[in-house]
Amino acid sequence: MIRATVFGALVLFNALVLVAQPIAPAFNSRPGAAYTLYLNFTGFQYTGNWGGQTPGITPAFRNQTGSSFTASQQAEIKNIWARTAETWMAYNVNVTTVDPAAQAGHTTYLARQHYYDTTARVQHSVIGDGASNFFGGAAGVSYVGTWANSNTAGSGLSTNWTFTNRSGGYGSYKRIASVTVHENGHAAGLSHQGDYIGSQEINQYSTNNGSTNTRPALGTGNAQTRVAWAVGRVNTNPNTIQNDALRIRQNSGMGGFIDDGIGRTLLTASALTLNGNTIDSLANQGVIVPVSNTNPNPIGVDNYTKGYYSFTTAMAGINSITVNAGTQWITTGESDPHQSLDATLRILDQNGLELAVSNTSSFSETISLFLNKGNYFIEVSSAGGKFASKGPDGTWDDKLFYDMGAYFLTGNVLAVPEPSGVFFAIAVGLMLFRRERRK
Ligand SMILES: [Zn+2]
């Protein structure tokens, strides 16, 4: 009797999901990229087994059963999408909320499931509450190294899950995004990175000694400011060093790290785009990536690309320039949370000599300085990577973090001379003031 009731409830719920799956807001981080990471917030019914267990129904985000998400739910989805997408900005990957299977004309769950499985370079990542009998202890699950392939229809190899109910709940954007980055790191071929003392494993999931600032994407990145791609020993084999950025880039057809189109030398500097004296944040943005596609190295500023911008001041005065680490999808001109780049900012004179540098412990940097009328450059670079903590007693093996990812510029430069009308107005004001005193 009880079983029949439960079964009936499932059927009813199933019918609701099938009839009214909410339409997700459409976000794309890199339209046209070779690889697609489809973040599915609309719920899914998985047919058959996955990893020996039964996924069944994953409800839509916040159990939305209507035909659309509310405005606040759409904002939540955008937040999780932006955090996840930011981490993939150095690669030829479009992180999207638009279903590629639906775009290809597939409507049923089974047809969509087969499309994800059999379409190379498409990964289907379901984000929602997991059933208690589907990997009940896990925050997420994924196969390893299956994203690049065309897999067998029905194998489920191209679908993974982030379980919101086991990742802090729907409002835990940071943790949901960290788990989603982690699971899709698996899909891109990455194993867990552990903490070791010699060949002895201390943590299966690296913690960076409990850091609240940076943790490796393939360790425990659950609640930190950022999850970073790393170089370190994998948990299954202390003799294997995994270079995350290299392994991701080695996926078939991924190509090299992104070329953001910004001049990478003084001679090829991009002209700073201004609206009057205001730096246009959307027109001055880039992605700092490793220089080498075949041997990327996290440690060393010169192992990363640099972005150069040229500008001309029309008068002497104070200029203020900020390099904002991260993307700006949620609010234009403001860094999205979960930045992966730690940036360094320099102002150079027309000969390329350094006038000012800012390289604080913050991911973003600001320089305000007096400049005479003339020609100058902005240089944006990586902070040059980080060594992970060596543990409470300093004996943990080295682990290295990449400082790579998106940025944009904001601020003001004195590119436009003060209009002469201002001086005229001041002169008139003084005359009026004098006349008043005479009365
Ligand atoms: Zn994992």
pLDDT in tens, 177-230: 999 999 999 999 999 999 999 889 989 898 888 888 889 999 986 666 789 999
CATH code given to domain 270-412: 2.60.120.380
Q: Output the pLDDT for position 418.
A: 72
pLDDT digits (tens, 9 = 90+) for 48-92: 999 999 999 999 999 999 999 999 999 999 999 999 999 999 999
327 or 12: which leads in pLDDT: 327
User: Under 8 Å CB-to-CB from 360, ≥6 apart: which residues?
Assistant: none
**How many Cβ atoms from other residues are within 10 Å of residue 310's Cβ?**
17
* Beta carbons of 80 and 176 less than 8 angstroms apart: yes
**How many Cβ atoms from other residues are within 10 Å of residue 2's Cβ?**
6
Answer whether residue 434 shows pLDDT above 60: no
Each residue of 202-230: b (16+ CB within 10 Å) or e? Answer: bbebbbbbebeebbbbbbbbbebebbbbb
Q: What are phi and psi of 365, to 5 degrees?
A: -140, 145
- Distance, CA of 88 to CA of 29 (rounded, Å): 9
The residue type found at 48 is G
Q: How far away, in angstroms, is 234 Cα from ligand 1 center? A: 11
Q: How far away, in angstroms, is 131 Cα from ligand 1 center? A: 19
Across the range 140-152, mean pLDDT stands at: 97
Q: Output the pLDDT for position 290.
A: 98
Q: How far away, in angstroms, is 296 Cα from ligand 1 center? A: 23
Q: Output the pLDDT for position 21.
A: 85
- Distance, CA of 44 to CA of 112 (rounded, Å): 10
Q: How far away, in angstroms, is 216 Cα from ligand 1 center? A: 11
Q: How far away, in angstroms, is 194 Cα from ligand 1 center? A: 11
Q: How far away, in angstroms, is 205 Cα from ligand 1 center? A: 8
CA distances from 285 to 225, 289, 402, 438 (A): 22, 13, 19, 56
Answer whether residue 313 shows pLDDT above 60: yes
Rg (CA), the chain: 26
State how beta strands 214-216 and 230-234 pair. Answer: unpaired
Strand partners, 317: 371
Q: Could you state, in order of their start, the residue ranges of all structural domains in the chain? A: 2-189, 270-412
Q: Output the pLDDT for position 165.
A: 97
Q: Output the pLDDT for position 426.
A: 53
129 or 222: which leads in pLDDT: 129
Q: How far away, in angstroms, is 236 Cα from ligand 1 center? A: 12
Determine the angle formed by the axes of helices 71-87 and 173-187, rounding to 10 degrees. 50
Q: How far away, in angstroms, is 297 Cα from ligand 1 center? A: 23
Q: Where are the beta strands (DSSP E) in 28-149?
A: 35-40, 44-46, 56-58, 93-96, 122-128, 140-141
Q: What are phi and psi of 111, to 5 degrees?
A: -65, -40
State how beta strands 226-228 and 214-216 pair. Answer: parallel
Q: Output the pLDDT for position 425.
A: 53
Confidence of residue 412 (pLDDT cuts 50, 70, 90): very high
Give start and end residues of each alpha helix (H) in 141-284. Answer: 173-187, 244-249
Helix (H) or strand (E) holding 274: strand 274-275
The residue type found at 356 is A
Across the range 404-413, mean pLDDT stands at: 98
pLDDT digits (tens, 9 = 90+) for 332-381: 999 999 899 999 999 999 999 999 999 999 999 999 999 999 999 999 99
> Which residue is it, tokens 């008068």?
315
- Distance, CA of 338 to CA of 174 (rounded, Å): 7
* Beta carbons of 184 and 230 less than 8 angstroms apart: no
Across the range 278-293, mean pLDDT stands at: 98
Q: How far away, in angstroms, is 189 Cα from ligand 1 center? A: 11
